[in-house]
């Protein structure tokens, strides 16, 4: 296990509970990743997602919180578990929970890279209640001037400003985006400016997080993806110190009304990372399939290895955790 911030005394009275809770979140994402990994490459995305949801739901039963799912698998009538509004946890402080038990269902079904099990935690009322629609996003890492990139600025201007701030040429900037037809014009402008491109088949949470990590191999993420995934990514960037902006995108008036019903007062508002994930935030993810940020689940005879990341905004700590799960022991809980 490694961490990128200064180690603090284990007996510090203000952070010991937080530390324990952060590691509990890793156990939750590990359970989801282990369950989903059995479906890797088998062409059944719904089964993989269902296994991840069930594994994560069971793991939450032992976490000492009174949690409410605000970003989840859908409404109660659409999802049997981890639906928006569901209560989870074994009792404790009131918390908002954002989950994606399997970020990258298609990736897992095809055996592709960068599928993750993801959880974020904040005090009650501190996550944006984002409807399940698209969000336009732009994100960069820490250590840059505030507002160095902007959703409303031209693509080339954002790239030039970022390159100047990083003391690089635009040709050294790596742009990450989903490989979608809707991004064709943006992609063309990036290439015309000379930037390098990383295209993702699915799973833009991993792309945004990579932009926020110093060794993530990505300088900037841009493009439209799921709004719930945007909140999860914002939670991670709150922990790494990165910048992000997001704006909800609507296909029809019904989506606008649904957003209003979830508390969105200005449908065209440009959200900052702090508006999407406020206060003290914790974030955890476990690799299901291998990628640039995390290795995937590696199974052997009677167990498996998992590779996870856990972050806390309060301390700025980023820990990478490799766990060895021995299924043969009597104390190990089945997936």
- Encode pLDDT of 103-126 as tens digits: 999 999 999 999 999 999 999 999
Grade residue 306 by pLDDT with cuts at 50, 70 and 90: very high
Q: 16 pLDDT exceeds 50?
A: no
Residue 257's φ and ψ, nearest 5 degrees, are: -65, -35
Residue 204's φ and ψ, nearest 5 degrees, are: -80, -10
pLDDT of residue 139: 98
Instruction: Provide mean pLDDT across the span 253-275.
Output: 92
pLDDT of residue 186: 98
- Encode pLDDT of 24-68 as tens digits: 999 999 999 999 999 999 999 999 999 999 999 999 999 999 999
Of 181 and 13, the one with more pLDDT: 181
pLDDT of residue 89: 95
Mean of all residue pLDDT scores within the chain: 90
Q: 292 pLDDT exceeds 90?
A: no
Q: 152 pLDDT exceeds 80?
A: yes
pLDDT of residue 77: 62
- Encode pLDDT of 227-241 as tens digits: 999 999 999 999 999
Contact 141, 214 (CB under 8 A): yes
Q: Which domains does the chain have, with CATH numbers?
A: 2-125+281-326 (3.30.540.10), 134-276 (3.40.190.90)
Strands 318-326 and 303-312: antiparallel
pLDDT of residue 163: 98
High-pLDDT (> 70) share of the chain, %? 92
Grade residue 289 by pLDDT with cuts at 50, 70 and 90: very high
Which residue, among 17, 36, 73, has the nearest Cα to 296 in the 3D structure?
36
Token code pair at residue 187: 């992609």
Q: CA-CA distance, 29 to 306, in Å (whole number)?
A: 10
Contact 285, 118 (CB under 8 A): yes
Measure CA 107 to chain center. 15
Q: 5 pLDDT exceeds 90?
A: no
Q: CA-CA distance, 135 to 248, in Å (whole number)?
A: 4
Burial of 251 (C-beta count, 10 Å sphere; 0-12/13-18/19+): exposed
Grade residue 19 by pLDDT with cuts at 50, 70 and 90: low
Burial of 208-236, coded b for 16+ CB within 10 Å and e otherwise, reads: bbbbbbeebebbbbbbbbbbbbbbbbbbb
- Encode pLDDT of 94-103 as tens digits: 999 999 999 9
Q: 76 pLDDT exceeds 70?
A: no
């Amino acid at each position: 296990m490694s961490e990128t911030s200064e180690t603090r005394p284990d007996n510090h009275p203000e952070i010991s509970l937080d530390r324990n809770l952060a590691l509990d979140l890793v156990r939750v994402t590990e359970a989801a990743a282990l369950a989903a990994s059995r479906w890797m490459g088998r062409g059944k995305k719904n089964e993989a997602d269902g296994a991840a949801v069930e594994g994560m739901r069971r793991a939450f039963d032992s976490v000492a919180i009174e949690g409410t799912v605000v970003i989840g698998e859908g409404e109660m009538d659409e999802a049997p578990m981890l639906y928006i509004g569901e209560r989870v946890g074994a009792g404790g402080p009131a918390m908002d929970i954002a989950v994606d038990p399997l970020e990258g269902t298609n990736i897992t079904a095809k055996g592709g890279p960068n599928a993750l099990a993801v959880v974020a935690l904040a005090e009650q009322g501190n996550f944006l209640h984002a409807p399940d629609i698209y969000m336009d996003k732009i994100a960069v890492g820490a250590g840059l001037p505030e507002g160095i990139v902007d959703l409303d600025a031209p693509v080339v201007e954002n790239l030039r400003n970022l390159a100047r701030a990083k003391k690089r040429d635009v040709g050294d900037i790596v742009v990450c985006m989903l490989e979608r037809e809707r991004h064709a014009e943006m992609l063309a402008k990036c290439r015309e400016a000379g930037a390098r491109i990383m295209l993702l088949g699915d799973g833009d949470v991993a792309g945004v997080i990579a932009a926020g990590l110093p060794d993530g191999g990505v300088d900037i993420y841009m493009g439209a993806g799921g709004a719930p995934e945007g909140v999860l990514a914002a939670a991670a960037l709150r922990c790494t110190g990165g910048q992000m902006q997001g704006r909800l995108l609507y296909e029809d008036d019904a989506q606008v009304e649904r957003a209003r019903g979830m508390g969105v007062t200005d449908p065209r508002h440009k959200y900052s990372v702090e508006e999407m994930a406020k206060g003290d935030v914790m974030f955890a993810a476990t690799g299901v399939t291998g990628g640039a940020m995390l290795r995937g689940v590696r199974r052997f005879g009677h167990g498996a290895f998992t590779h996870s990341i856990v972050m806390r905004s309060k301390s700025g700590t980023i820990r990478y955790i490799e766990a060895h799960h021995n299924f043969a022991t009597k104390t190990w809980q089945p997936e």
